[in-house]
Amino acid sequence: MSTDQPVHRRRFSGYPLTWRLPIIFWQILFFVGPLLFMVAMSFFLVKNYRMVEAFEFKNWEKMLTRGYFWDSYFLTLILATLSTIVTSLLAFPAAFALAFKVSPSVRRWAIFLLVIPFFTSYLVRIFSWYVILAESGVINAMLATIGLGPYTMLNTKFGTLVGYMTLTLPLVMVLQTFALSNIDRNLVQAAHNLGCSPWRAVYTVIVPLAKTGLIVAALFCFILSFGDFVSPYYLGGSKPPTLPILIIDTTKSGQQWPRAAVVAVMMMVTLITIAFAALSLAYRKRASR
């Protein structure tokens, strides 16, 4: 008598694939397609102010061997990193208070108020900072009452960071609040019962439990800051230029769209690398001791 068990072959079902098709189609049409075209365009040549299809590395050589490109690259990287650190640190106390110190109804209203700024134009919000940061603006007027100032805050890196935080701080605060709100309160209470001080409980219990959400929030902040054009242009003075401003300057210089594509590809490679590294860190499980 044969003891072989019948092999049940798994039938292919197109039902799950059907629900995935919209997002797959969207990614191919609006992300993968334009990205591939941008990579291809970086090898084109410009002759008589017109792009000519070619496969030359002249644009890459021209951009990657110039000091001004790397100056802009590291300036953008440093400003985005600084913005991420400052924004995350400023958002955490407010998110902690919303998650642990207020009622759910207050938390819902606070999140609603944090979302409201996104109902208005980001450009309008940036221009409003002119009134606040100008040498004759609100801040310098307040400092003048105690004999300080005026200080130059527009057309500086400080102005750029203010613009970055205008864009990212509400979003980071909301994401951190969601991450902290999902923590099991029993674990926090157990830490206190075992003698943990409030600060130590935050460091050893709350932050590790909310690690994924905190890193994802920081990643969103970095991506938005790294690719932002408005803040460094209008509040930072655009000198020296960040990479988004360098793209605009390059296209205006003899219609050099292929060289601008080189800058854009370098930005995409950087963001994808940092995103994968951040997500790997966010979802990596702690080694058991």
pTM: 0.89
Residue 231 lies in a domain: yes
Residue 155 lies in a domain: yes
* The three-state (H, E, C) secondary structure of the chain, written as one string: CCCCCCCCCCCCCHHHHHHHHHHHHHHHHHHHHHHHHHHHHCCCEEECCEEECCCCCHHHHHHHCCHHHHHHHHHHHHHHHHHHHHHHHHHHHHHHHHHHCCCHHHHHHHHHHHHHHHHCCHHHHHHHHHHHHCCCCHHHHHHHCCCCCCCCCCCCHHHHHHHHHHHHHHHHHHHHHHHHHCCCHHHHHHHHHCCCCHHHHHHHHHHHHCHHHHHHHHHHHHHHHHCCCHHHHHCCCCCCCCHHHHHHHHHHCCCCHHHHHHHHHHHHHHHHHHHHHHHHHHHCCCCCC
Look at residue 269 in the predicted model and tell me its pLDDT.
95
Q: Range with the lowest mean pLDDT among 37-46, 198-207, 278-287?
A: 278-287
Q: Does the pLDDT of residue 287 top 60, yes or no?
A: no
User: What is the percentage of the chain residues whose pLDDT exceeds 70?
Assistant: 94
| Count of structural domains within the chain | 1
Q: Range with the lowest mean pLDDT among 6-15, 182-191, 237-246, 274-283?
A: 6-15
Residue 167 lies in a domain: yes
Residue 60 lies in a domain: no
Look at residue 5 in the predicted model and tell me its pLDDT.
56
| Across 102-112, average pLDDT | 94
Residue 150 lies in a domain: yes
CATH of the domain at 274: 1.10.3720.10
Look at residue 148 in the predicted model and tell me its pLDDT.
87
The predicted-structure confidence for 173-228, as pLDDT tens digits, reads as follows: 999 999 999 998 898 889 888 888 888 889 899 999 999 999 999 999 999 999 99
Banded model confidence at residue 20, pLDDT cuts 50, 70, 90: confident
Question: Whole domain around residue 254: which residue ranges?
Answer: 68-283
Residue 14 lies in a domain: no
Residue 205 lies in a domain: yes
Residue 43 lies in a domain: no
